[in-house]
Amino acid sequence: LNSANFQSARLVGPAVAGVLITAVGSGWAFLINGLSFAAPIIGLLLMRTSELYKVERTPRGKGQLREGLRYVAGNPDLIWPIVLVGFIGTFGFNFPIWLSAFADDVFHAGPGTYGLLNTLIAIGSVAGALLAARRVVARRRLLVGAALMFGVLEVVAAATPYFWLFAALMVPIGIFSLTFNVTANSSVQLATDPAMRGRVMSLFMMVFVGGTPIGGPLVGWLTDTCGARIGFAAGGLISAAAAGTVGLLLVRAGGLRVKLDLRRGHPRVVFVPRTPEDKQLATTA
């Protein structure tokens, strides 16, 4: 729930900003955003520190960061989800750039349309958060599948000539983006030894939060140079390609292979052991 709340806020915030810009202008939107920080500050000041659970801190020492990096690099269940988060965070989450470009240059609309598109993504993200809260286990298939669908839907949205279809696609894009974010966060935490969790999650958040500011200038340049459709499609293609590649690497790391099951007239992709000795790993994919 905490992860879903955090990820939802990253998508709901721009939607609220779009509405405020349309209603009262950019200056007032910045002022209201600044004043909104009073709420969490007051909440922190009202906390009863005597009732908090005290956790013994891990003693600091030389080489802890290096040890954490080695731990992540040696664990496929950690390194590949983090790599996937890096690619999608860098190239797939640049919605302020794309949506403003589509609103102005493609559909020739104003701030109201930009706010509407952000609102639709926010609706999808809230729906994705509610669905994510119901799941007990974060599986690799869900992680890779959500990332793949997220990228594919971005490509489809970039190609559509109709505003109503483009706007409608924002909802499933929001659902799959939130599903991917929450599943990645949960799977990395559950696969990490408690003694290493702080260092691993620090690396995860650095990659996740730091990717978008790095990719923003690149995606912005591509969007300005080649157009909004090319920029949006490129982000989706990179995200989908990264999801497919990481999915295959995770399958191979688990001693599995991909098989298309055509039985009973319902084709579906399943993971089966590459060798009899790997059979017990098939249930964990």
Q: Where are the domains of the chain?
A: 2-33+64-253, 256-285
- pLDDT at residue 111 tops 60: yes
- pLDDT at residue 225 tops 50: yes
Confidence band (pLDDT; 50, 70, 90) for 262?
Answer: low
How many whole angstroms separate alpha carbon 217 and alpha carbon 272? Answer: 42
Does this model's pTM top 0.85? no
The domain over range 2-33+64-253 is classified in CATH as 3.40.50.970: no
Out of 3-17, 34-48, 135-149, the most confident range is: 34-48
- pLDDT at residue 27 tops 50: yes
pLDDT digits over 226-254, tens only? 999 999 999 999 999 999 999 888 877 76
Per-residue confidence (pLDDT) for residue 7, from 0 to 100:
61
Per-residue confidence (pLDDT) for residue 153, from 0 to 100:
96
Q: CB-based contacts of 121: which residues, under 8 Å, 6+ apart? A: 11, 14, 15, 95, 170, 171, 173, 174, 177
Confidence band (pLDDT; 50, 70, 90) for 208?
Answer: confident
Exposed e or buried b per residue across 56-75, where buried means at least 16 C-beta atoms within 10 angstroms of its C-beta = eeeeeeeeeeeebeebbeeb
How many whole angstroms separate alpha carbon 121 and alpha carbon 196? Answer: 34
Confidence band (pLDDT; 50, 70, 90) for 270?
Answer: low
Per-residue confidence (pLDDT) for residue 4, from 0 to 100:
63
Per-residue confidence (pLDDT) for residue 83, from 0 to 100:
92
- pLDDT at residue 88 tops 60: yes
Among 3-7, 20-24, 214-218, the minimum mean pLDDT is found in 3-7
3-state secondary structure of 269: strand
Per-residue confidence (pLDDT) for residue 170, from 0 to 100:
94
Per-residue confidence (pLDDT) for residue 273, from 0 to 100:
56
How many whole angstroms separate alpha carbon 203 and alpha carbon 61? Answer: 18
156 or 12: whose pLDDT is higher?
A: 156
- pLDDT at residue 282 tops 50: no
Residue 271 in tokens: 């993971």
Contact 180, 150 (CB under 8 A): yes
